[in-house]
């Protein structure tokens, strides 16, 4: 490389404006032009980051110098704000620009900061031909705790905070560059400077609080030191961030807007600061109410092991819309091996007609930050590997990884399908009977403020009762047994233990670890200790095997001794203790009706006080409550499965009519059991007309389903036997219903589609208190068929039943539906019906199956009532 002893060029003074970044790069290239290109490139990159920081944060004149001494390149950047201390923070590699000090620490051989009364100088050194050594970060002063007003942030989620901090820095950086370029984004320059200063103060305070915590400790509560008069500046920061978010949503900044949970977290963070500065008490993040799409944050970052151990079919995608994790149940449901799907775009699991819609919606989410289906239960079809459609309910939530990335976690709950007609065997499936999570998973519980094992051995009677009540409520309120047990695990690891496990026997007497929850991210997590466990053999004599035979609660002072390891289950249990550094544990059987159904293990690691005999009565009470909750949940699941099979058996096969296209869908309420009183039907009467039926029996239970099945059967029998006009058929149905269900009421539309194969066609129909059918022409015009309306079934059997005739133009779409498709709590029926008009008009040119699927996706999310719909489209044969 030649002689490196050249002194370099004189230092350059630059004004505090964005153009100075480019000037600094040119200066460094000129000063180091004789050196290797890669060394010059690195120096240019680092000086541009440091000058950018000085321009944005110091806002003073900047002095840059670059010199070569011996085999070392030394670059310095000085500003005139010695009071503005450096605020280094972790910056992930995917963040692009704005990494500043993190990049210097990564690429420079040495670096540091020097401050005097008049200036602050940041410097770094590079050496050619040798890689930069690993450094321990920046040795910068930490603001003293307690020197100013202290704000306490309770239950701070570490991964979410990292993501939100990175987003704040990026937004403010982009806002500053936009203003410098003359783009008016609605932020006055003075406000932007105040916001940047306040953001730096918050980041510095959190960084200082984190550095004062013990190594390896999880984030729970942070003391944040701020000036007592900081509230106005914090409000300005909020206003500037909101304006920058708006600009990002309008694609005027080179960054994406925040997703819903990050926005909610920012509001909580700044509300805590301003509120506590005004004297209000702290409020934990984990008790903040959430809206759909802003689901509660786990106190630990997302990990693929959470997916592998789940029994709920789960698929995880990243911000690129690429699948990054799939569990076995999801692969089984869709006909794929889990590893086959990782790395593929999410659209491979979608039918063709939904792919463009998904890409558009996903792009809109990233560009606008506004969710459509996040945190909601949506009925839709998924694509099986063999090409057929699998009706599911999809529930999506977001979570953050340890480095602050956002992942999208989708849980799939299968729905029953309509029995196939011969035409359906080509791959078309009709949807029916769904069930899915009804909302975000239960929130992580607020901790006690002390680590596990510190002062927990002497719970008061009130604290014991509170713990028992919380665990019982967590299990009874969960829509899914596994999620309920995971919620119980979070409570126990916040109040009693460092980790806990629940092992349950399956119906075929095999042993599953349904739940393994660890308190806080303390090292690598492995999924090998979750899922199916070795069998409980006769030779097994370890503590878990003994508990599964009914012994306990058993107190363990560390891992099981070698003389208690006599089989694969014993070995597996001892390896779990070793992997988690366990110093004590209690394992106890779960018993119901004189039968052991599983075991609970609660344990503490070497960092806290061991469990003792005084904890055994509490664990005994816990397993009694858990066993009852597990048994009830399993009984409910068994009943629900029976109801689902019953509902499936009641769904009719649609007839094949040459000149009519028919499609139907059924979606049970996302908040009730999978059986109800809504139904649809279609059949051909002896005269050749096609009967179309939609109905709704009052109620959402097994009685409603039974009444519905009897009504449907009676209607078919009367219609086929009598072949009378629809009004008369409904009158006879009302009389028959009155003899069987005197107190039951129901709504129904019965119609006959008449006309030859070439058309024209008409609908002769009568309605018993049902919402009117909707006719959508091929041009997109909509018209409710409101004539022919009469009383509900079960009200007055002596009243006449009117009927009406309406023309059905070729290629028009007739939609019969139940009120669950349109009704929303607190909304007028007129507004709901207008919304249905708009949706159907936009879909009129879609194939009929796509038409029905899109209606369910667009209007059936989080439906409080069952939904049944039947669509008919006259289709004359081609000439």
What's the pLDDT tens digit per position in 516-572? 888 765 444 556 777 888 988 888 888 999 999 888 889 998 888 888 888 899 989
pLDDT band at 702 (very low <50, low <70, confident <90, very high): low
Residue 270: per-residue pLDDT: 92
Which range (134-143, 245-254, 274-283) has the least confidence?
134-143
pLDDT band at 863 (very low <50, low <70, confident <90, very high): low
pLDDT band at 18 (very low <50, low <70, confident <90, very high): confident
Whether the per-residue pLDDT at 59 is higher than 70: the answer is: yes
Which range (306-310, 592-596, 671-675, 713-717) has the least confidence?
671-675
Which range (206-210, 651-655, 864-868) has the least confidence?
206-210
pLDDT band at 422 (very low <50, low <70, confident <90, very high): very low
Query: What would the pLDDT profile of 282-333 be if each residue is shown by its tens digit?
Result: 888 877 665 555 554 455 567 777 677 667 788 999 888 899 999 888 888 8
Residue 218: per-residue pLDDT: 56
Q: How far apart, in whole angstroms, are the C-alpha atoms of residue 330 and residue 312?
A: 8
Half-sphere exposure of 731 (CA within 13 A, CB side): 13
- Look at residues 785, 698, 709, 788 and name the one whose alpha carbon lies nearest to residue 747: 698
Query: What would the pLDDT profile of 374-406 be if each residue is shown by its tens digit?
Result: 777 788 889 998 888 888 888 888 887 766 678
- Look at residues 201, 634, 666 and name the one whose alpha carbon lies nearest to residue 391: 666
3-state secondary structure of 633: helix
Q: What integer is the mean pLDDT of 741-745? A: 69
Which range (157-161, 257-261, 647-651, 757-761) has the least confidence?
647-651
Between 9 and 452, residue with greater pLDDT: 9
* Residue partners of 870: CB distance under 8 A and separation at least 6: 662, 663, 664, 680, 681, 682, 692, 693, 694, 815, 816, 817
Between 652 and 431, residue with greater pLDDT: 652
- Look at residues 66, 56, 270 and name the one whose alpha carbon lies nearest to residue 153: 270
Residue 681: per-residue pLDDT: 93
How is residue 556 written in tokens? 């363990």
Query: What would the pLDDT profile of 703-729 be if each residue is shown by its tens digit?
Result: 777 778 888 889 999 999 988 999 999
- Look at residues 717, 712, 807, 828 and name the one whose alpha carbon lies nearest to residue 753: 807
With tokens 């995608």, the residue in question is 317
Residue 436: per-residue pLDDT: 34
Q: How far apart, in whole angstroms, are the C-alpha atoms of residue 628 and residue 484?
A: 13
Report the interhelical angle of 158-180 vs 260-277 (nearest 10°). 90
pTM for the structure as a whole: 0.62
Q: What integer is the mean pLDDT of 45-63? A: 85
How is residue 103 written in tokens? 């990049």
Q: What integer is the mean pLDDT of 211-237? A: 78
pLDDT band at 240 (very low <50, low <70, confident <90, very high): very high
Report, at the CATH architecture level, how domain 12-126 is classified: 2-Layer Sandwich (3.30)
Residue 452: per-residue pLDDT: 41
Segment (H or E) for 737: helix 726-740
Say if strands 314-317 and 323-326 run parallel, antiparallel, or are unpaired: antiparallel
Say if strands 761-768 and 746-754 run parallel, antiparallel, or are unpaired: antiparallel
Is cis: bond before 760, omega within 30 of 0?
yes
Q: How far apart, in whole angstroms, are the C-alpha atoms of residue 670 and residue 813?
A: 27
Say if strands 761-768 and 804-808 run parallel, antiparallel, or are unpaired: antiparallel
Q: How far apart, in whole angstroms, are the C-alpha atoms of residue 618 and residue 614?
A: 8
| Secondary structure of 303-340 as H, E, C letters | CHHHHHCCCCCEEEECCCCEEEEECHHHHHHHCCCHHH
Residue 139: per-residue pLDDT: 60
Segment (H or E) for 848: helix 848-859
Is 461-640 in CATH node 1.10.287.3240? no
Query: What would the pLDDT profile of 840-852 be if each residue is shown by its tens digit?
Result: 999 999 999 999 9
Which range (324-338, 408-422, 717-731, 855-869) has the least confidence?
408-422
Cβ-in-10-Å burial (0-12, 13-18, 19+) of 776 comes to buried
Q: What angle do CA 275, 276, 279 make, to 5 degrees?
A: 95
3-state secondary structure of 215: coil
pLDDT band at 137 (very low <50, low <70, confident <90, very high): low
pLDDT band at 814 (very low <50, low <70, confident <90, very high): very high
How is residue 643 written in tokens? 């109801």
What CATH code is assigned to 652-874?
A: 3.60.40.10
Q: How far apart, in whole angstroms, are the C-alpha atoms of residue 325 and residue 409?
A: 9
Whether the per-residue pLDDT at 16 is higher than 70: the answer is: yes
Report, at the CATH architecture level, how domain 304-426 is classified: 2-Layer Sandwich (3.30)
Is cis: bond before 602, omega within 30 of 0?
no
Residue 517: per-residue pLDDT: 86
Q: What is the mean pLDDT of the chain?
A: 81
Which range (135-149, 733-747, 865-879) has the least confidence?
135-149
Cβ-in-10-Å burial (0-12, 13-18, 19+) of 214 comes to exposed
């Amino acid at each position: 490389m030649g002689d490196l002893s050249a002194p370099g060029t004189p230092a350059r003074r630059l004004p505090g404006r964005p153009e100075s970044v480019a000037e600094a790069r040119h200066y460094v290239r000129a000063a180091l032009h004789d050196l290797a290109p890669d060394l010059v490139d690195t120096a240019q990159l680092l000086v541009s980051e440091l000058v950018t920081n000085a321009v944005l944060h110091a806002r003073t004149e900047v002095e840059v110098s670059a010199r070569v001494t011996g085999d070392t390149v030394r670059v310095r950047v000085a500003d005139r704000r010695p009071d503005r201390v450096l605020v280094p923070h972790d910056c992930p590699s995917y963040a692009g620009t704005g990494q500043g000090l993190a990049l210097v620490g990564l690429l420079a051989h040495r670096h540091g900061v020097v401050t005097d009364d008049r200036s602050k100088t940041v410097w770094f050194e590079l050496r050619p031909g040798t890689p930069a050594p690993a450094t321990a970060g920046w040795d910068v002063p930490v603001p003293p705790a307690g020197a100013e007003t202290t704000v306490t942030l309770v239950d701070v989620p570490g991964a979410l905070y990292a993501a939100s901090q990175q987003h704040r820095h990026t937004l403010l950086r982009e806002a500053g560059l936009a203003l410098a370029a003359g783009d008016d984004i609605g932020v006055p320059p003075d406000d932007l400077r105040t916001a940047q200063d306040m953001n730096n103060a918050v980041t510095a305070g959190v960084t200082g609080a984190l550095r004062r915590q013990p190594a390896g400790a999880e984030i729970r509560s942070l003391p944040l030191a701020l000036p007592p008069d900081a509230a106005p500046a914090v409000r300005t920061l909020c206003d500037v961030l909101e304006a920058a978010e708006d600009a990002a949503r309008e694609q005027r900044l080179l960054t994406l807007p925040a997703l819903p949970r990050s926005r909610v977290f920012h509001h909580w963070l700044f509300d805590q600061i301003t509120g506590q500065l005004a004297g209000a008490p702290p409020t934990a993040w984990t008790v903040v109410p959430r809206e759909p799409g802003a689901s509660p944050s786990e106190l630990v970052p997302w990990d693929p092991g959470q997916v592998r151990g789940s029994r709920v079919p789960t698929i995880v995608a990243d911000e690129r819309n690429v699948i990054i994790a799939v569990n076995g149940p999801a692969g089984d449901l869709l006909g794929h091996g889990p590893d086959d799907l990782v790395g593929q775009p999410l659209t491979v699991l979608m039918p063709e007609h939904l792919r463009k819609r998904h890409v558009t919606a996903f792009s809109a989410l990233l560009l606008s930050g506004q969710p459509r289906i996040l945190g909601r239960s949506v009925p839709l079809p998924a694509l099986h590997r063999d090409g057929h459609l699998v009706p599911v309910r999809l529930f999506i939530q977001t979570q953050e990884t340890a480095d602050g990335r956002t992942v999208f976690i989708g849980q799939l709950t299968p729905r029953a399908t309509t029995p196939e007609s011969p035409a359906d065997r080509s791959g078309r499936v009709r949807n029916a009977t769904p069930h899915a999570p009804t909302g975000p998973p239960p929130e992580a519980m607020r901790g006690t403020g002390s680590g596990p094992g510190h002062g927990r051995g002497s719970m008061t009677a009130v604290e014991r009762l509170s713990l028992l009540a919380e665990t019982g409520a967590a299990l009874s309120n969960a829509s899914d047994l596994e999620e309920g047990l995971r919620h119980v695990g979070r409570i126990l690891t916040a109040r009693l233990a460092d980790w806990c496990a629940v092992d349950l026997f399956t119906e075929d007497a095999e042993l599953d670890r349904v739940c393994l929850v660890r308190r806080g991210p303390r090292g690598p997590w492995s999924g090998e200790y979750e899922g199916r466990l070795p069998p409980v053999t006769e030779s097994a004599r370890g503590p878990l095997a003994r508990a599964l035979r009914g012994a306990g609660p058993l107190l363990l002072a560390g891992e099981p001794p070698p003389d208690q390891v006599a089989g694969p289950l014993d070995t597996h249990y001892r390896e779990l203790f070793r992997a988690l550094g366990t110093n004590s544990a209690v394992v106890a059987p779960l018993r119901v009706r004189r039968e052991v159904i599983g075991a609970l293990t609660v344990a503490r690691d070497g960092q806290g006080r061991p469990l003792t005999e005084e904890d055994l009565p509490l664990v005994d009470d816990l397993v009694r409550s858990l066993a009852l909750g597990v048994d009830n949940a399993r009984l409910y699941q068994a009943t629900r499965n029976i109801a689902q099979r019953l509902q499936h058996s009641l769904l009719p096969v649609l007839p094949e009519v040459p000149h009519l296209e028919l499609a139907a869908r059924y979606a049970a309420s996302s908040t009730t059991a999978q059986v109800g009183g809504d139904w649809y039907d279609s059949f051909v009467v002896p005269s050749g007309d096609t009967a179309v039926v939609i109905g709704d029996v009052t109620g959402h239970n097994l009685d409603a389903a039974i009444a519905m099945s009897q009504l449907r059967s009676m209607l078919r029998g009367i219609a086929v036997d009598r072949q009378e006009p629809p009004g008369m058929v409904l009158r006879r149905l009302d009389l028959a219903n009155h003899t069987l269900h005197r107190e039951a009421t129901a709504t129904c539309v019965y119609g006959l589609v008449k006309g030859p194969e070439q058309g024209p066609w008409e609908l002769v129909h009568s309605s018993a208190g049902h919402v009117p059918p909707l006719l959508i022409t091929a041009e997109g015009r909509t018209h409710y068929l409101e004539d022919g309306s009469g009383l509900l079934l079960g009200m007055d059997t002596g009243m006449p039943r009117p009927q009406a005739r309406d023309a059905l133009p070729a290629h028009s779409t007739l939609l019969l539906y139940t009120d669950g498709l349109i009704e929303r709590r607190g909304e007028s029926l007129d507004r709901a019906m207008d919304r249905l008009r708009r949706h159907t008009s936009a879909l009129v040119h879609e194939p009929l199956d796509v038409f029905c699927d899109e209606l369910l996706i667009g209007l059936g999310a989080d439906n409080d009532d069952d939904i049944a719909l039947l669509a008919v489209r006259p289709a004359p044969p081609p000439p």
